[in-house]
């Protein structure tokens, strides 16, 4: 049976339909807004996966170029590895859904969102969250609450719900919020230094819209009325947990607080847990099920000890206060040769960021479902195994690495002068995690600020980031500043906040709870601001402002303007001219549509050579201008001289010598340099030159340095034209007439062929 439902939110109409497509999935919904249509499906395996201690959930966002009327570029036309945008959207779906499945669910779960049609007025990424939430609502999969996601923009001081792609570009805020009727469960945001007060209002505005949408999802689910499946939930015997806590709880707590060093503390805990398991095995020898749960039960006790110490004693594993940051160190310019570098250390978390400057032509092409763009600012994040003292093969960046890199990129984008004409660079930041014990993504933000200022990039303001945590028993909420790895693992929230002294530039919220109360989020934002300012003090003590200039090893970039109508002349047929410019000068050349030309190179000489060649192709030539150029070719009528790079003019035979010439080679040869003067620019833009002198010793031109052609078009004294010259001129005139006749005939033939083709094609169609 097909069910259909429509409703309005924020002036936009959302439509839901189920029962028409993908009927064998656990739940399937076609969700539409404008002309964007997204399919959301959710499916669960029949049996739980044995031997695992986590929820095996996979969320995938599948892009299809047909949704925007495109054929994929390049050699491979079939969809392969998901794009970075698809991976980030998959994470947006996963994070709000994961906490709301029943605890102990071990059945394999897959949630897929796939845009079938994309309208640029209604971006599909946030609608994918809604499609996933709607599919779970109408599915047979047990799930706590309907979930929805919204995007909020801030334009001219007003909040905009579900802004278009063009509106996002001019918005001071790009906020994606997901949640359910009780609370917010996921936040992802980039902002232009927005204050904490404005951000709190935006979060409330977003949650109010989420409540409207999930209420309609709930109505839709009741219409479909598909019963939920009964599943076996994995659990650890509470009596076993209590027994371990009673016998070993004090030892675990003592070991937990025994060292501030992560490696030593975790090593001692692992040894203790192994000891606990070995000591208790004999007691449960006749109970194999309980015996198999000993290790997991011991982990539960460790987790509970961490939580109890914080909730009841305000005691953290490393002895810090709840709002205390670990020791900080910031070093700018630690690496030679590179364009910019920054090393940031916070406790046992350490990140090195390297900044590299390039030309606009080195920008990354972003070919997604949205408009194709060239991304001139990129941030990549690498998390090697040695940073946590482990050994594993390197398989390339995973979803986590891509997500952390994107978060750091978003945190800094609003302060980088990408729209400043004095900043013509493409910028690549790479953050290498050297040591990890919590919040390496925010350490990447701090290291990137150091690297940018060391590179001489005139950022609008330094940016720092901090990760906030939360411990809660449902009644008491303890917000933690600068969480470390164990607190992240045992806690209920990971709330990353990046910004300058003036405001927030990025947010990311993940939670294991059903949601976070508004007042707790407000407290976390306030503590994050205090911590952010402390970190900025340390960064600015190391490097108070960007360097005066970019590094000597960075490319120099000069901007010139040309007439846009001359762009074709610079490029040349098949790119011949621009290839010649770059190969001759060694410089890189990037031409914009408006006639802006960016010339970059590692030295002044190559840039000046390129500029000279470009001007030679674009500058207007005035009659009377003088040049020194090389003879490039010779014909019967005269010699062609390259008087400016890429531009030739002809010196007629009679303008070369004061005496008649039998052969032009008697006066000049290819490769000779002539001092020439522009005599005429004809109606077709062809340049005629007069030889004024020659650098090489050519007897035929002796005494001709300042000669001018007579009005009659030939050199000589007071007598009439020489017979040979008359004959040569007559022959030249005949050749020109014949050439014009041939060209006219060819044009006529082309016109006839075009008329015939246009007359024939309609009949063929």
The C-alpha atoms of residue 294 and residue 239 are separated, in whole angstroms, by 11
pLDDT band at 762 (very low <50, low <70, confident <90, very high): very low
Neighbours of 439 (CB within 10 A): 26
Strands (E), 313-389: 328-332, 340-346, 349-358, 364-366, 373-375, 377-382
The pLDDT score that the predictor gives to residue 693 is: 55
**Closest alpha carbon to 453 in 341, 337, 534, 357:** 341
Whole-angstrom distance, CA of residue 64 vs CA of residue 316? 48
Integer Cα distance of 440 and 431 in angstroms: 9
Return the closest-CA partner of residue 413 out of 200, 202, 168: 168
The residue assigned the tokens 């999935």 is: 25
- Count of CB atoms situated within 10 Å of the CB of 410: 21
Task: Report the alpha-carbon distance of residue 184 to residue 439 in Å, rounded.
Answer: 21
* pLDDT, mean of residues 139-161: 96
Pairing of strands 377-382, 426-435: parallel
Q: Are the C-beta atoms of 49 and 178 separated by less than 8 Å? A: no
One-letter-per-residue 3-state SS of 388-429: HCCCCCCCCCCHHHHHHHHHHHHHHHCCCCCCCCCCCCEEEE
Give the helix ranges, DSSP H, for 171-293.
196-224, 238-256, 262-280, 288-292
List, in sequence order, every residue forming a beta bridge with 630; answer none if it has no partner.
Answer: 642, 673
Mean local confidence (pLDDT), 273-289: 86
Q: CA geometry: angle at 453 spanning 447 and 455, to 5°?
A: 100
Which of 7-11, 143-147, 521-525, 621-625 is the least confident region? Answer: 621-625
Q: The dihedral of CA 213, 218, 219, 224: what is its sign?
A: positive
Q: Distance from CA of residue 476 to its chain's centroid?
A: 40
pLDDT (tens digit, 9 = 90+) per residue, 476-519?
999 999 999 889 989 999 999 999 999 999 999 998 887 788 88
What's the mean pLDDT in 717-723? 37
The span from the CA of 352 to the CA of 356, in Å, is 13
Q: Find tokens 């499916």 and name the residue.
A: 43
Mean of pLDDT values over 467-473: 94
Q: pLDDT tens digit string along 355-405?
A: 999 887 777 776 667 665 678 899 999 999 999 888 988 888 899 999 999
The whole-number average pLDDT for the span 54-72 is 90
pLDDT band of 726, cuts 50, 70, 90? very low
Q: What is the pLDDT of residue 410?
A: 96
Query: Quick one: pLDDT band at residue 431, thresholds 50, 70, 90?
Result: very high
> Can you tell me the distance from the alpha carbon of 558 to that of 607, in angstroms, rounded to the nearest whole number?
8
Which pLDDT does position 199 carry in this prediction? 96
CA–CA separation, 634 and 195 (whole Å): 72
How far apart (Å, rounded) are the C-alpha atoms in residues 97 and 149? 11
Grouping H, G, I as helix, E, B as strand and the rest as coil, residue 333 is coil
Taking the C-alpha atoms of residue 346 and residue 436, their distance in angstroms, rounded to an integer, is: 10
What SS3 state is found at 524?
helix
Q: What was the pLDDT predicted at 360? A: 75
Between strands 27-33 and 464-472, the pairing is unpaired
> Taking CA 166 as the corner, what is the angle to CA 160 and CA 169, rounded to the nearest 5 degrees?
80
CB atoms within 10 A of CB 378: 18
Q: Is the pLDDT of residue 758 over 50?
A: no
Q: Report d(CA 218, CA 191) in Å as an integer.
A: 32
Highest-scoring range by mean pLDDT, 21-30, 238-247, 579-588, 605-614: 21-30
- CA 560 from chain centre, in angstroms, equals 27
The arithmetic mean of pLDDT across residues 333-338, rounded, is: 94
Do residues 228 and 148 touch, judged by C-beta distance below 8 A? no
Q: What is the mean pLDDT of residues 569-575?
A: 87
From the number of C-beta atoms within 10 Å of its C-beta (0-12, 13-18, 19+), residue 51 rates as exposed
What SS3 state is found at 557?
strand
Spatial separation of the C-alpha atoms in residues 77 and 79, rounded to whole Å: 6
Q: Name the residue with tokens 């000779």.
A: 672
CA distance 321 to 668: 89
């Amino acid at each position: 049976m097909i069910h259909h439902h429509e409703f309005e939110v924020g002036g936009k109409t959302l439509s839901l339909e189920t029962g028409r497509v993908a009927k064998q999935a656990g739940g399937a919904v076609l969700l539409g807004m404008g002309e964007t249509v997204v399919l959301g499906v959710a499916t669960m395996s029949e049996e739980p996966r044995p031997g695992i201690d986590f929820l095996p959930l996979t969320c995938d966002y599948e892009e299809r170029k047909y949704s925007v009327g495109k054929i994929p570029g390049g050699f491979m036309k079939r969809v392969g590895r998901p794009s970075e945008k698809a991976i980030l959207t998959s994470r947006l779906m996963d994070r709000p859904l994961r906490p709301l499945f029943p605890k102990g669910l071990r059945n394999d779960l897959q949630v897929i969102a796939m845009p079938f049609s994309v309208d640029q007025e209604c971006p599909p990424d946030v609608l994918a969250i809604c499609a996933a939430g709607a599919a779970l609502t109408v599915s047979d999969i047990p799930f706590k609450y309907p979930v929805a996601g919204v995007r909020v923009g801030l334009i001219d001081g007003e909040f905009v719900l579900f802004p278009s792609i063009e509106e996002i570009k001019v918005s001071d805020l790009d906020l994606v919020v997901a949640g359910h009727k009780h609370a917010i469960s996921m936040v992802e945001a980039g902002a232009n230094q927005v204050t904490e007060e404005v951000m709190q209002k935006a979060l409330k505005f977003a949650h109010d819209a989420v409540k409207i949408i999930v209420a309609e999802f709930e109505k839709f689910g009741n219409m479909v009325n598909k019963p939920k499946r009964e599943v076996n939930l994995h659990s650890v015997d509470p009596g076993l947990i209590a027994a371990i806590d009673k016998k070993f709880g004090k030892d675990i707590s003592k070991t937990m607080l025994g060292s501030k060093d992560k490696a030593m503390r975790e090593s001692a805990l692992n040894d203790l847990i192994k000891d606990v398991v070995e000591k208790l095995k004999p007691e449960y020898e006749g109970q194999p099920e309980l015996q198999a749960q000993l290790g997991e039960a011991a982990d539960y006790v460790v987790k509970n000890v961490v939580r109890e110490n914080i909730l009841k004693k305000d005691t953290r594993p490393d002895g810090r206060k709840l709002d205390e940051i670990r020791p900080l160190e910031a070093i700018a310019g630690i690496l030679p040769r590179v364009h910019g570098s920054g090393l940031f250390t916070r406790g046992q978390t350490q990140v090195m960021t390297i900044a590299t400057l390039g030309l606009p032509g080195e920008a990354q092409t972003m070919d997604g479902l949205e408009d194709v763009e060239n991304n001139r600012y990129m941030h990549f994040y690498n998390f090697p195994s040695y940073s946590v003292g482990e050994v594993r093969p390197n398989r390339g960046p995973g979803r986590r690495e891509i997500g952390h890199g994107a978060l750091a990129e978003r945190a800094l984008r609003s302060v980088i002068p990408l729209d400043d004409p004095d900043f013509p660079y493409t910028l690549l930041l790479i953050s290498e995690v050297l040591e990890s014990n919590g919040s390496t993504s925010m350490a990447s933000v701090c290291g990137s600020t150091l690297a940018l200022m060391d590179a001489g990039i005139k950022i609008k303001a330094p940016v720092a980031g901090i990760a906030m945590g939360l411990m809660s028993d449902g009644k008491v909420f303890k917000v933690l500043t600068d969480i470390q790895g164990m607190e992240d693992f045992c806690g209920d929230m990971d709330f990353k906040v990046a910004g300058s002294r003036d405001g927030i530039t990025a947010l990311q919220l993940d939670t294991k709870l059903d949601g976070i109360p508004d007042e707790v989020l407000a407290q976390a934002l306030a503590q994050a601001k205090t911590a952010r300012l402390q970190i900025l003090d340390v960064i600015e003590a190391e490097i108070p402002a960007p360097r005066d200039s970019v590094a000597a090893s960075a490319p120099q970039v000069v901007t010139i303007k040309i007439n846009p109508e001359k762009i074709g002349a610079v490029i040349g047929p098949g790119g011949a001219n621009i290839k010649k410019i770059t190969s001759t000068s060694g410089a890189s050349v990037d031409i914009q549509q408006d006639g802006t030309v960016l010339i970059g190179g590692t030295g002044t000489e190559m840039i000046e050579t390129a500029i000279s060649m470009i001007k030679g192709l674009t500058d207007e030539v005035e009659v009377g201008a003088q040049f020194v150029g090389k003879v490039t070719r010779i014909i019967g009528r005269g010699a062609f001289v390259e008087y400016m790079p890429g531009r030739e003019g002809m010196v007629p035979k009679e303008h070369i010598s004061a005496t008649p010439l039998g052969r032009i080679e008697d006066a000049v040869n290819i490769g000779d340099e002539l001092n020439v003067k522009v005599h005429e620019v004809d109606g077709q833009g062809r340049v005629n030159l007069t030889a004024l002198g020659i650098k090489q010793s050519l007897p035929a031109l002796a005494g001709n340095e300042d000669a001018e052609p007579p009005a009659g078009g030939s050199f000589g004294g007071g007598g009439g034209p020489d017979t040979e010259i008359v004959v040569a001129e007559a022959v030249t005139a005949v050749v020109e007439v014949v050439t014009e006749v041939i060209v006219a005939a060819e044009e006529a033939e082309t016109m006839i062929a075009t008329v015939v083709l246009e007359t024939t094609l309609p009949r063929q169609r």
